[in-house]
Amino acid sequence: MINDTISFGGHDPCQIANEFIQMGIDREEPITPLEVQKLIYFAHGWTLANHNRPLHHDEWEAWPYGPVLSVVYHRLSYYRGDPVDDIILAHDMRFEDYERRIIDDVYDGYRHMGGVRLSRLTHVKGGPWDQVKKKRWGSRIIPNETIRKYFIRVSRKIEAMNG
C-alpha cells in the first residue's frame, strides 16, 4: 500500500525546473530541456528515498525515451535541444532546507554528465522507467513508490561501496 505522503504533496514541477534553469543561467552553463527533466527526476527520487515525501506533485510518465513530466515537457518544448535561457514561471518559490540541499546536490552531482548520459541513467535495466515501459497494457505512470524503492536500492549500493 502506498503511503499518502508519497502519493500527494510537493511543489509545482515547473518551479523545480526554474531552480535548475536558474542555476544553469547563473553559472553561465544553461541546461537543455532534457537535462531539466532528468535533474528533476533525480531530485525527486532522492527526496522520496531520503524523506519519504515527493518533491513535486505531478506524475512521471514512461515515454519512449525516458521518464517525463508532461507539464515541464510542454513548457520547454519551444527550446527543443537548445539551452533554456529563461525561467518558465515568474514567481519565487520557497523550498524547505532539505529540499534546497537535494536540489543543489543533484545539480552539482549530475549536471556535468549532460543530457544523453543522464538519460541513460534513467533507462537502467530494472529501474522505474524500465519496469513501467515493459508493460503491454495499462498505465504508463511511474508510481512514486517504485521510484522511492529504486533510489533506496541505489543508496544502499553506494553505501556498501563506500564501506
Residue 81 burial (C-beta neighbours within 10 Å; 0-12, 13-18, 19+):
exposed
Question: Which residue shows C-alpha cell 561501496?
Answer: 161
Lowest mean pLDDT among 4-8, 83-87, 105-109, 124-128: 4-8
pLDDT for residue 6 = 62
pLDDT in tens, 90-149: 666 789 999 999 999 999 999 999 999 999 999 999 999 999 998 877 779 999 999 999
pLDDT for residue 125 = 95
pLDDT above 50: residue 4: no
Residues 71, 77, 81: CA angle, nearest 5 degrees? 130
pLDDT for residue 7 = 57
Mean of the per-residue pLDDT values for the chain?
A: 92
Residue 97 burial (C-beta neighbours within 10 Å; 0-12, 13-18, 19+):
exposed
Give residue 2's pLDDT band: very low, low, confident or very high (50, 70, 90). very low
Give residue 65's pLDDT band: very low, low, confident or very high (50, 70, 90). confident
At 107, list the grid cell: 545539480
pLDDT above 90: residue 55: yes
Question: Phi, psi (5° rounding) for residue 116?
Answer: -65, -45
Torsion angle of C-alpha atoms 89, 90, 92, 98, degrees rounded to 10: 20
Q: What is the percentage of the chain residues whose pLDDT exceeds 70?
A: 91
Look up the pTM and report it: 0.92
pLDDT for residue 18 = 96
Torsion angle of C-alpha atoms 126, 75, 15, 67, degrees rounded to 10: 0
pLDDT for residue 5 = 46
